[in-house]
């Protein structure tokens, strides 16, 4: 028999080898369900040796088991579906139970009492199983395929189901489960990870999503997990795909929204005049290839979207284009602009410049390259069509209002085969392909030509996945499963501007033709619009092999497994060899609130120019190994303990050819001879962390017939991988920076003169040392050599109470703590207490680079285990399974999440040297959530309670269905900042770091929020709209003094959102029916408002605290009021 097992799995092992060779993630959880229970006679005595046959009622796949000496049976690896269970034992009547639902990632307890009698006698029970989960401590939320495709969710995106489940918040990005960061959330398909390999991100067009009509169930787990689950901080979403059945099933559907069906956004004065059309076309077909043996499923889906909305933006005014920065006709006093050529150093060492008379630049002073660029007519003219324009000290704001557009095309394909070799041996395989052809945003309407638009470059994304599972019953109490997975995601961006010599078109000499030059403000900000930038190609791949072995002995079900995971990324670095240019020189040296970036551009004043060129491809590689052991111990007929231990390890960060960069704080810099060097070690950058033992403990106590108490605790080690592409790769992307010396406020060169020649010196290892004498732009990555795998502790306890046959009440407490979470902090920071002398502090502010711990570097980003998080929540949930035509779920959650930083990327704050100042509510913390959704078949028509006799009335009024969703949530927290500017020309100054305001004397946090009317006067004009927050609740701190307002101190506006659908089913023939449905989103027109402006600026207060838009678009959380029609034909 074991020999047959080896033969059966040989093909799979060979296929896995092929996948590993091609460089291709599955995890130990299978995504299937388990059936277990105890068998007794009518007196309660245990019956051993009962033959248990479990038959899928749709495809007749049969699974077998035998009860142990303790009368316990267990049948794992059951695909989602409805089953018939038959129990046979000598001396007892055969018992058959039908319509038993098996759900994804759930262990269903089904106890039976067998009657004494002849085995040929049969007792049939046609009733579903209990709703209580009596066999596991894990709790979660299940969404059936019917609910997924019937509930009125925008665009039917599967990830949008996270908006409607307990334990997960989505206002600050998807996947924040149990208080965890998004990257600790696992998005699985048939038990195989569908996150981006090596990055772990969850978002539309990031994780794999294909055809929702092919999905049988979606299960979300957010509590303590058994040992078989890995790579998650406590949140898992698994999609179980459908299987074919013995009958052919087909479906074709179209979802459509036209322009008249979508309401204008809250911030728009009128309906958008641009193009709008949305189509979501789906088709699914399944059936038998060989009845009772082999089945297929194929599906296709097409998302076709052309949308538009009104946008307001800034463009240079005609006066500015002619050099006039006096802001004629405005009541504000403009920022003063100075002549860059007038720079002089005074005897005391300070610098000064001469102001342009009248704040006007003579046209004769325009730089020829700037004039040539403007000659291309890049900007649209002003359009104050809604009187939205206002002025601040920099010039006109929002002086352009136009309708813009966006195109998005996404296609998904699924192919699945299920095959039963015998009752003992089954296999399934699935191939899915998600093909995205979408713009990265809406057209930048500031531009009169698409040639300069970043959005014009297409960003094709292709995501493919293969899953194969082979399960074999070695004996009635011993089962083995081999599972493999492969993922490949490729994202490409190729701007049409590549190789077109745009530098010559702009009039910039000494620059190559490779990319379009990029213009920025003196601080690196966007110069009215985003330029096309360079080429990127990123390929993320993963391949996985796992073996899961289950053995039932007495009251114990032992499960053990091994997982091998290979992950790799191939990333072509984006080079910008034609340069990025920052403009300045019109400010009074070291005086905030002076100068103008566009004025500096007209004069051609380049204060910094960066040139980058890729000399290598970023090729990180990881191997991961995991072992687990789990014992589900049926201590008594009412108490089950889940005892497990998981261990996993991940290879330290390294690249394929050893090309990587690592900052060494004790090394000697070859460029300057200073302490602190950027080195290129060939080996791993940190040690391997093998101490990753993860205990998993759980208990389920069915202490009364309709009650179960459940509690669990788990440690979950997280993957380290990478939080962003191209980490630790400096000097393989060669960098040259042309910039004046530190502390010198002069320009580096004029744009029309061009930069000096840049020459890169390639080293034998392929690295290229930094070129430049000002090291502000020389950055370094520092991966902590002692880095360890972060982990999250999860715990939960709660009770379930079943009422009748269909109602379930659950009360649950859940907590978590993240330890050693990964963040990237700049360790090359200036301590805020470096001096008390105002003169010295001013010197430091004017030349901060010279006072950094490592002055030969700009930022030195240390990636290490900085983070800690905590989370506590309480949830009450009521659920009704479908009966009497009604199913609904309603829950309320009260929770709080706290941390110092809310994701794995770069972290910042008041000072690196006291990171505890950032401890506050998480960016994604939502204190209160109340969500309800329901589906109701109206009791009218054939087979229903009313008008069931047939006839015209029954056909017209019958077969209607109503579905609804209600979401009410408090908002996520807000952090306030300031820029030091006071009324007039007074500006306080500070050392680098997050600038938080003070709370004004006599004010508290409760004084920040104002009474606000969402329908208030001139809400479409930001300058005169009612403020949501009170600027006078804040004060600007004294110079060189950190503010006392904390991080995330008050809630942003919350969500109150409703969705409804009304569907009519029209039967054509016995097996053919059509449906017509209308979805209504946000019919009560209560917008989900965007966060208000939180930058305290007393000199330009026009926008502070103003809400200028609503969130959600027409397909996101809190989407705009709209109507969608759905047409479907199925058989």
The predicted-structure confidence for 770-797, as pLDDT tens digits, reads as follows: 999 999 999 999 999 999 999 999 999 9
Average pLDDT over residues 445-452: 93
Helices (H), 534-680: 597-602
Distance between CA atoms of 55 and 423, rounded to whole angstroms? 10
Long-range pairs for 798-803: beta carbons < 8 A, 24 or more residues apart: 798/139, 798/709, 798/710, 798/711, 798/875, 799/707, 799/708, 799/709, 799/710, 800/131, 800/132, 800/133, 800/707, 800/708, 800/710, 801/706, 801/707, 802/130, 802/131, 802/132, 802/706, 802/707, 803/706
Average pLDDT over residues 474-479: 92
Average pLDDT over residues 131-143: 86
Other Cβ atoms less than 10 A from the Cβ of 785: the count is 13
- Asked whether residue 649 is assigned to any structural domain, the reply reads no
What is the percent of the chain where pLDDT is above 70?
97
Separation in Å, CA 215 to CA 49, 99, 145, 174, 239: 37, 20, 6, 20, 7
305 confidence band (pLDDT: 50, 70, 90):
very high
- Asked whether residue 99 is assigned to any structural domain, the reply reads yes
Distance between CA atoms of 1017 and 687, rounded to whole angstroms? 61
Q: Do residues 576 and 611 lie in contact, with contact meaning Cβ atoms separated by under 8 Å?
A: yes
Other Cβ atoms less than 10 A from the Cβ of 270: the count is 11
How many domains is the chain built from? 2
- Looking at residue 11, its pLDDT comes to 39
Of the chain, the end-to-end C-alpha distance in Å amounts to: 42
- Asked whether residue 576 is assigned to any structural domain, the reply reads no
Average pLDDT over residues 866-883: 94
pLDDT one-digit tens code per residue, 628-687:
999 999 999 999 999 999 999 999 999 999 999 999 999 999 999 999 999 999 989 999
Distance between CA atoms of 237 and 186, rounded to whole angstroms? 6
Average pLDDT over residues 1043-1061: 97
- Is residue 693 scored above 80 in pLDDT? yes
DSSP 8-state class, residue 354: P
Residue from 968, 1097, 1033 nearest 163 by CA: 968
List CB contacts of 980: < 8 A, sequence separation 6 or more: 592, 987, 988, 989, 990, 995, 1036, 1039
- Asked whether residue 1125 is assigned to any structural domain, the reply reads yes
Distance between CA atoms of 205 and 653, rounded to whole angstroms? 26
Q: Using DSSP, state whether 955 is helix, strand or coil.
A: helix
| Domain end (from 94, 126, 158) | 126
Q: Which helix (H) or strand (E) holds 374?
A: helix 368-375
Separation in Å, CA 898 to CA 795, 924, 955: 16, 9, 56
Nearest 10 degrees: Cα torsion 159, 162, 168, 174? 30
HSE toward the beta carbon, residue 390, CA cutoff 13 A: 13
- Asked whether residue 768 is assigned to any structural domain, the reply reads no
C-alpha 287: how far from chain center: 35
- Looking at residue 310, its pLDDT comes to 86
Buried b (16+ CB within 10 A) or exposed e, 716-734: bbbbbbbbebbbbbbbbbb
Q: Using DSSP, state whether 135 is helix, strand or coil.
A: coil
Q: Using DSSP, state whether 735 is helix, strand or coil.
A: strand
- Is residue 24 scored above 50 in pLDDT? no
Q: Using DSSP, state whether 318 is helix, strand or coil.
A: helix
DSSP string covering 84-133, please? EEEEE-TTB-EEEEEEEEE-TT-EEE--EEEPBS-TT-EEEEE-PPPS--
* Beta-strand pair 185-189/192-193: antiparallel
DSSP 8-state class, residue 13: H
Residue from 439, 376, 433 nearest 406 by CA: 439
| Domain end (from 108, 126, 144) | 126
Q: Do residues 199 and 243 lie in contact, with contact meaning Cβ atoms separated by under 8 Å?
A: no
Helices (H), 97-244: 145-150
* Beta-strand pair 107-109/33-41: parallel
949 confidence band (pLDDT: 50, 70, 90):
confident
Average pLDDT over residues 50-68: 93
Higher pLDDT, 581 or 131: 581
Domain enclosing residue 94, as ranges: 31-126
pLDDT one-digit tens code per residue, 333-372:
999 999 999 999 999 999 999 999 999 999 999 999 999 9
pLDDT one-digit tens code per residue, 176-193:
999 999 888 998 999 889
Distance between CA atoms of 974 and 987, rounded to whole angstroms? 24
Distance between CA atoms of 1072 and 629, rounded to whole angstroms? 49
- Is residue 496 scored above 70 in pLDDT? yes
Distance between CA atoms of 538 and 202, rounded to whole angstroms? 17
| Domain end (from 80, 96, 126) | 126
* Tokens at 669, concatenated: 């810099």
Distance between CA atoms of 497 and 534, rounded to whole angstroms? 9
* Residue 92: CATH number of its domain: 2.60.40.1120
E strands within 8-80? 33-41, 51-56, 62-66, 72-78
DSSP 8-state class, residue 825: E
- Asked whether residue 804 is assigned to any structural domain, the reply reads no
- Asked whether residue 1001 is assigned to any structural domain, the reply reads yes
* Tokens at 269, concatenated: 């004065």
Residue from 230, 237, 233, 226 nearest 867 by CA: 233
- Is residue 692 scored above 50 in pLDDT? yes
Give the sign of the dihedral formed by CA 1087, CA 1090, CA 1095, CA 1101.
Answer: negative
- Looking at residue 805, its pLDDT comes to 85
Other Cβ atoms less than 10 A from the Cβ of 323: the count is 20
List CB contacts of 932: < 8 A, sequence separation 6 or more: 888, 889, 890, 891, 964, 965, 966
Q: Do residues 730 and 661 lie in contact, with contact meaning Cβ atoms separated by under 8 Å?
A: yes
Q: What angle do CA 413, 1129, 58 make, to 5 degrees?
A: 70
Please give the backbone phi and psi of residue 683, each rounded to the nearest 5 degrees, phi first. Answer: -90, -165
Other Cβ atoms less than 10 A from the Cβ of 1026: the count is 17
List CB contacts of 70: < 8 A, sequence separation 6 or more: 38, 46, 48, 554, 555, 634
Q: Using DSSP, state whether 920 is helix, strand or coil.
A: strand
- Asked whether residue 233 is assigned to any structural domain, the reply reads no
Distance between CA atoms of 281 and 741, rounded to whole angstroms? 60
Distance between CA atoms of 75 and 66, rounded to whole angstroms? 9
DSSP string covering 385-426, please? TTS--EEETTEEES-EEEEEEEEEEEEEEEEEEEEESSSSEE
Q: What angle do CA 162, 163, 169 make, to 5 degrees?
A: 85
Distance between CA atoms of 881 and 809, rounded to whole angstroms? 12
pLDDT one-digit tens code per residue, 83-117:
999 999 999 999 999 999 988 888 888 999 999 98
Helices (H), 533-617: 597-602
pLDDT one-digit tens code per residue, 987-1024:
999 999 999 999 999 999 999 999 999 988 888 888 88
- Looking at residue 127, its pLDDT comes to 56
- Looking at residue 126, its pLDDT comes to 61
Distance between CA atoms of 648 and 694, rounded to whole angstroms? 8
- Is residue 7 scored above 70 in pLDDT? no
* Beta-strand pair 654-655/662-668: unpaired
């Amino acid at each position: 028999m074991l020999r047959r097992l080896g033969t059966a799995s040989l093909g799979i092992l060979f296929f896995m080898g092929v996948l590993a060779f091609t460089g291709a993630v599955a995890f130990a959880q299978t995504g299937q369900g388990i059936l277990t229970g105890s068998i007794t006679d009518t007196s309660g005595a245990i019956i051993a040796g009962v033959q248990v046959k479990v038959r899928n009622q749709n495809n007749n796949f049969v699974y077998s088991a035998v009860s142990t000496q303790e009368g316990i049976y267990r049948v794992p690896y059951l695909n989602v579906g409805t089953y018939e269970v038959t129990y046979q034992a000598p001396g007892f009547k055969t018992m058959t139970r039908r319509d038993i639902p098996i759900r994804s990632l759930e262990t269903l307890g089904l106890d039976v009492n067998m009657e004494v009698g002849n085995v040929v006698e049969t007792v049939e029970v046609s009733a579903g199983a209990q709703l209580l989960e009596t066999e596991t401590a894990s709790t979660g939320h299940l969404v059936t395929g019917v609910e997924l495709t019937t509930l009125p969710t925008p665009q039917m995106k599967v990830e949008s189901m996270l908006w409607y489940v307990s334990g997960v918040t989505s206002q600050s990005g998807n996947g924040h489960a149990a208080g965890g960061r998004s990257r600790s959330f696992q998005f699985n398909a048939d038990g195989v990870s569908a996150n981006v390999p090596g990055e772990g991100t969850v978002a539309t067009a990031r994780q794999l999503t294909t055809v929702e009509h092919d999905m049988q169930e979606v299960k979300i787990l957010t509590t303590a997990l058994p040992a078989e689950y890995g790579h998650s901080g406590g949140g898992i979403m698994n999609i179980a795909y459908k299987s074919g059945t013995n009958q052919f099933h087909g479906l074709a559907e179209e979802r459509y929204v036209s322009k008249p069906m979508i309401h204008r956004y809250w911030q728009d004065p009128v309906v958008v005049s641009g193009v709008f059309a949305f189509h979501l076309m789906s088709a699914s077909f399944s059936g038998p290839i060989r009845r009772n043996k082999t089945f297929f499923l194929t599906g296709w889906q097409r998302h076709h979207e052309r949308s538009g909305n009104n946008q307001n933006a800034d463009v240079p005014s005609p006066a500015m284009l002619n050099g006039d920065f006096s802001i004629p006709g405005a009541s504000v006093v403009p920022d003063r602009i100075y002549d860059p050529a007038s720079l002089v150093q005074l005897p005391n060492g300070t610098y000064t410049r001469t102001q342009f008379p009248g704040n006007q630049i003579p046209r004769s002073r325009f730089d020829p390259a700037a004039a040539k660029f403007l000659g291309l007519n890049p900007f649209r003219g002003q359009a104050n069509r809604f009187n939205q324009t206002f002025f601040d000290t920099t010039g006109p704001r929002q002086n352009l209002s136009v309708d813009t557009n966006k195109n998005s095309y996404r296609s998904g394909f699924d192919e699945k085969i299920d095959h039963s070799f015998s009752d003992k041996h089954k296999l399934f395989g699935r191939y899915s392909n998600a093909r995205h052809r979408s713009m990265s945003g809406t057209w930048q309407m500031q531009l009169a030509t698409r040639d300069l638009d970043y959005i014009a470059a297409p960003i094709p994304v292709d995501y493919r996945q293969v899953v194969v599972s082979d399960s074999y019953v070695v004996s009635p109490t011993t089962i083995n499963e081999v599972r493999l997975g492969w993922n490949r995601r490729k994202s490409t961006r190729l701007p049409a501007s590549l190789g077109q010599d745009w530098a010559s078109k702009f009039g910039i000499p000494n620059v190559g033709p490779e990319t379009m030059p990029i213009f920025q403000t003196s601080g690196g900000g966007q110069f009215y619009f985003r330029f096309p930038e360079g080429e990127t190609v990123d390929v993320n791949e993963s391949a996985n092999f796992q073996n899961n072995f289950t053995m039932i002995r007495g009251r114990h079900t032992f499960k053990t497994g091994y997982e091998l995971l290979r992950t790799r990324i191939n990333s072509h670095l984006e080079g910008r060899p034609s340069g990025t240019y920052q403009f300045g020189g019109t400010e009074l040296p070291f005086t905030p609130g002076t100068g103008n970036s566009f004025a500096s551009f007209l004069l051609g004043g380049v204060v910094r120019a960066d040139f980058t060129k890729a000399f290598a491809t970023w090729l990180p590689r990881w191997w991961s190994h995991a072992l687990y052991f789990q014992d589900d111990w049926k201590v008594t007929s009412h108490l089950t303990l889940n005892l497990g231990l998981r261990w996993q390890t991940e290879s330290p960060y390294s690249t394929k050819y050893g090309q990587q960069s690592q900052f060494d704080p004790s090394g000697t810099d070859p460029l300057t001879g200073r302490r602190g060097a950027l080195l290129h070690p060939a080996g791993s950058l940190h040690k391997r962390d093998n101490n990753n033992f993860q205990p998993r403990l759980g208990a389920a106590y069915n202490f009364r017939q309709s009650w179960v108490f459940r509690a669990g605790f788990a440690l979950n080690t997280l993957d380290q991988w990478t939080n962003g592409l191209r980490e630790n790769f400096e000097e393989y992307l060669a960098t040259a920076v042309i910039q004046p010396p530190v502390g010198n406020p002069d320009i580096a060169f004029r744009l029309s003169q061009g930069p000096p020649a840049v020459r890169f010196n390639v080293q034998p290892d392929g690295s290229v040392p930094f070129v430049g004498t000002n090291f502000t732009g020389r950055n370094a990555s520092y991966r902590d050599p002692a880095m360890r795998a972060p982990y999250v502790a999860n715990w939960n306890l709660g009770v379930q109470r079943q009422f009748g046959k269909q109602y379930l009440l659950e009360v649950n407490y859940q907590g978590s703590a993240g330890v050693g979470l990964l963040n990237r902090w700049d360790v090359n920071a200036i301590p805020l207490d470096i001096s008390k002398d105002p003169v010295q502090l001013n010197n430091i502010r004017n030349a901060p680079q010279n006072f950094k711990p490592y002055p030969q570097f700009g930022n030195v980003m240390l990636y290490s285990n900085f983070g800690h998080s905590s989370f506590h929540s309480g949830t009450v949930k009521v659920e009704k399974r479908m009966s009497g035509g009604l199913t609904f779920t309603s829950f309320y959650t009260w929770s709080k999440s706290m941390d110092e930083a809310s994701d794995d990327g770069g972290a910042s704050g008041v000072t690196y040297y006291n990171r505890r100042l950032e401890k506050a509510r998480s960016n994604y913390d939502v204190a209160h959530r109340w969500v309800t959704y329901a589906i109701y078949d109206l009791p009218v028509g054939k087979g229903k309670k009313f008008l069931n006799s047939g006839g015209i009335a029954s056909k017209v009024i019958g077969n209607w269905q109503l579905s609804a969703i209600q979401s009410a949530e408090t908002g996520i927290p807000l952090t306030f900042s300031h820029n030091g500017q006071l009324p007039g020309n007074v500006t306080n100054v500070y050392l680098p770091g997050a600038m938080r305001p003070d709370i004004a004397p006599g004010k508290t946090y409760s004084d920040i929020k104002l009474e606000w009317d969402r329908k208030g006067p001139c809400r479409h004009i930001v300058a005169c709209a009612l403020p949501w927050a009170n600027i006078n609740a804040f004060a600007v701190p004294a110079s060189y003094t950190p503010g006392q307002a904390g991080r995330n101190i008050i809630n942003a506006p919350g969500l109150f959102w409703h969705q409804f659908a009304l569907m009519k089913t029209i039967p054509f023939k016995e097996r053919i029916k059509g449906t017509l449905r209308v979805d209504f989103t946000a019919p009560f027109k209560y917008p989900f408002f965007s966060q208000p402006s939180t930058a305290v600026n007393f000199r330009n207060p026009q926008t502070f605290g103003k809400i200028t838009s609503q969130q959600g678009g027409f397909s996101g959380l809190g989407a705009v009021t709209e109507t969608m029609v759905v047409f479907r034909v199925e058989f």
